[in-house]
Structure 1
Amino acid sequence: MSSEPPSTTQAHWLSRLRSALRLLIIVLSGAVACMLVHTLEIYRGNTYLDLRKGELPMTWPAHTNLAPTLVLVAVASSNFLASVAIMCLSFARSFRRPIRSRDMYRIVAGSFGVILWATALVVFHLLDRASKASLGRYACTNKNVMSNGRYQYRAVCGEQGIAFYLAVGAASAELLTLATLGFSALNSTKQKAPAIRSEKKNSISFAPPGRFS
């Protein structure tokens, strides 16, 4: 049987869970950024394609709305870099120690990450639906048109859709990570309170005679 108290075992389990979630966030946010960058490369790089008989030329709107894609790329890239930095810092002993200020910093940073993801997803969804000239919507609208760029349209449409759902997964993992941080901070506070009361009681018990008489 393990000689560690239940609170220590629980803390280790939560720490391992957070590490797994952080690794998942790195993978998902990196995949989102790579997919969306690839769709931008398709948009920029496929202007000269061979035109076969019966095909229409591939065209993009004169003012293609790239805002939804750029917003999600920026948030995914930022989250990827932040998650990598957090993983690197987690190997430092000073970063792993249960310090209340550090826990509060992690909770604030995690909350900011969740808000960023939620904002990016809402902006991406609303702007993509509101503009017929947005990169993803235009590609999905024209993916079945018999043009020389139909495969490019399909690639952009598919990758933008996959990137959105991967971003939802990354945001969910970030939210779950934040929940584990809050749970750990709550447990730490509960464990410190009895210890502080016991310490005060002992200091009073061993006080010199006559001091409290």
Structure 2
Amino acid sequence: MSIELPRDNRPCLSSARSALRLLNIVFSAAVAGTLIHTLEIYRSNISLDLRHGELPMTWPARTNLAPTLILFIVAASNFVASVAIMAMSAKRSFRRPIRTRDAYRILAGSLVVVLWVSAISGFQWIDAKSKASLGHYACGNRNVLSNGRFQYRAVCTEQGLAFYLAIGAALVEAATLCTLAITALQAKKDRESIITLNEKGALDPSFEKRYP
């Protein structure tokens, strides 16, 4: 005899997880898009039509783009991965045994959180230490009397915006990981309950009459 308990799928957790994944896509896309625009400003040709007393806009000879590129790569990768996960979930093509699936999701979610934290920490640390980093230099020269001061201000603002959006994305990913952990624990309890009932039914003949 095999007894199966009605499984609590916790639709509220599933809905919350879907909403968090969608929000993560939005945050990741916003970070990547903001940094792309920042790099476009950096690469664009600035007019040298100077007003009286203005200085031409310049960037350091070897501008340090490392913090910007690190954050952009993590954001773009996370965006692609999140879209792929949403697509597979919608098509229900991601079918694995429950234990393997839960372990895979938690491991992947933990890795993403670590990547976000590493990217955010690296961005902040390199940007603060390097005077030639894109954000540091732009923020340091945003009030200089130069024809490029508006570009400096734009880059400074966008670098800061991308940083805080990345923090938001990391928090959303951490919240998603929490819902995955709760779902995995619930699934484990369900399996243990089923095993207990099966063992009890095998030992007690009257149990089958009560739970046909």
User: Matched residues in 1 for 2:96 and 2:11: separation?
Assistant: 12
Post-superposition Cα deviations, 1:77-123, rounded to whole Å, max 9, x if no partner, equal 00000000111011133537881211111101000000000000000
Partners of 2:68 and 2:181 in 1: how far apart? 32
5+ residue gaps, structure 2: 1-5, 206-212
Instruction: Report the aligned-residue RMSD.
Output: 1.7
Q: Alpha-carbon deviation of 1:205?
A: 4.4
1:63 offset after TM fit, Å?
0.7
Match of 1:210 in 2: none
Structure-to-structure mapping, 1:149-160, within 5 angstroms: 149-160=148-159
Shift of 1:48: 3.7
Could you state the TM-score of these two structures normalised by the residue count of structure 2?
0.89
Aligned to 2:8: 7
| Paired residues of 2:7 and 2:190 also in contact (CA < 8 A) | no
Alignment of 1:1-213 (within 5 A): 7-8=8-9, 11-95=10-94, 99-205=98-204
Once the two structures are superposed, what CA deviation does each residue of 1:45-84 show, in whole Å capped at 9, x if it has no partner?
A: 1344422221110000001000000000000000000000
Other structure's SS at 2:146 match: coil
Q: What are the Cα deviations for residues 127-157 of structure 1, in whole angstroms up to 9, with x where unaligned?
A: 0000010000100000000100000000000
- Give aligned pairs, total: 200
Q: Which runs of 5+ in 1 are unaligned?
A: 207-213
CA distance in 1, matches of 2:155, 2:97: 46
Q: Percent identity?
A: 62
- Point out which structure has higher relative CO (alpha carbons under 8 A, 6+ apart): 2
Alpha-carbon offset, residue 192 of structure 1: 1.1
Give the aligned partner of residue 211 of structure 1: none
Structure 1 length as normaliser, TM-score?
0.89
User: Are the aligned partners of 1:136 and 1:157 in contact in 2 as well (CA < 8 Å)?
Assistant: yes
Give me the whole-angstrom Cα distance separating, in 1, the residues matched to 2:199 and 2:91.
33
8 Å Cα contact 1:49-1:149 kept in structure 2: no
Deviation readout 1:154-180 (Å, 9 max, x if unpaired): 000000000100000000000000011
**Aligned-partner Cα distance in 1 for 2:85–2:30:** 18
